[in-house]
Amino acid sequence: MKYRIVADSSSDLNEVNGVSFAAVPLTITVADQTYRDDAALNVSELLTALEHHHGRSGSACPNVNDWLEAFGDSENIFCVTITSSLSGSFNTASIAAKTYTEQHPDRHVFVLDTRSTGAESALLIEKLKDLILAEHEFDTIVSEIKRYHSRTNLLFALGSLHNLANNGRVSHVAAKVTGLLGIRVIGKASQHGTLELLDKVRGAEKMLTSIIRSMKENGFSGGKVRIHHCENREIADKLKERILLLCPNADTIIAPTRGLCSFYAERGGILVGYESTP
């Protein structure tokens, strides 16, 4: 069977080696300029434009045709989207899936609502890749990825909730605590795929301690960790060090956030995807 993974750009992955993969860009608009979140996007430039602009800015999910184009001529497709609670991406992907299978009744499309984004989506895509390379049947891959999803998690630490509040993704009351010098909000993707705020801390040390504590409370005891940072390699490295002190066998990868996650996480923000023990 031929498989392709198609994910929206919120996973921060531009490519996945070893399997057929396509990323479908969301778009970000700052002032009168629209940026496509693809491999050619200069994320630093986007962040600088954002920091210099005090008017409206926002994002938009892929439309049905964008998805259909990325499906190409694949026989079997696993589609991975940002949480349906905060974006229309899952909805447009689902419509594209229905259209595609009506046109090709012998083909299959499974759309996974990650109820998350960024580093957790990256873990799910890696798992899909492993299942595809192990040559499992389509239905087996669907049930295995659902099972795996029940033990993947996302934590985030953000210096500002400004863009999230301005675009209606968190309340302005929640956003108010940030913006104060050095205050960071720690939160997680809730089981409903919304932002759940867990802690607010001042300073990098307290932030790292709070993240590690939340990971342990949520059942982390080794396994995979993906740290996606918005121009904050220093914190990502420190977090990796802490994780390896706790669990020397943890498999950690650090990567930069791409356009969509950078827009909302803002400069300095980090997203941590990790496995909890079954």
Residues that bind ligand X90 (CB under 6 A): 26, 59-61, 82-83, 86-89, 116-118, 154, 156, 169, 189, 193, 195, 261, 264-265, 271
When the beta carbons of 74 and 116 are compared against ligand X90, the nearer one is 116
CB of residue 25 vs ligand X90: minimum separation in angstroms? 11
CB of residue 8 vs ligand X90: minimum separation in angstroms? 9
Do residues 219 and 188 lie in contact, with contact meaning Cβ atoms separated by under 8 Å?
no
When the beta carbons of 74 and 92 are compared against ligand X90, the nearer one is 92
- The tokens of 154 are what? 């996302």
Burial class (CB in 10 A: 0-12, 13-18, 19+), 166: middle
Measured from each CB, the residue nearest to ligand X90 is 87
CB of residue 72 vs ligand X90: minimum separation in angstroms? 23
CB of residue 104 vs ligand X90: minimum separation in angstroms? 27
When the beta carbons of 89 and 214 are compared against ligand X90, the nearer one is 89
Compute CA 32 distance to the chain's CA centroid, rounded to the nearest angstrom. 26
Do residues 187 and 160 lie in contact, with contact meaning Cβ atoms separated by under 8 Å?
no
When the beta carbons of 20 and 167 are compared against ligand X90, the nearer one is 167
When the beta carbons of 87 and 210 are compared against ligand X90, the nearer one is 87
Compute CA 256 distance to the chain's CA centroid, rounded to the nearest angstrom. 11
H or E element, residue 77: strand 76-81
18-189-256-64 Cα dihedral, nearest 10 degrees: 60
CB of residue 34 vs ligand X90: minimum separation in angstroms? 12
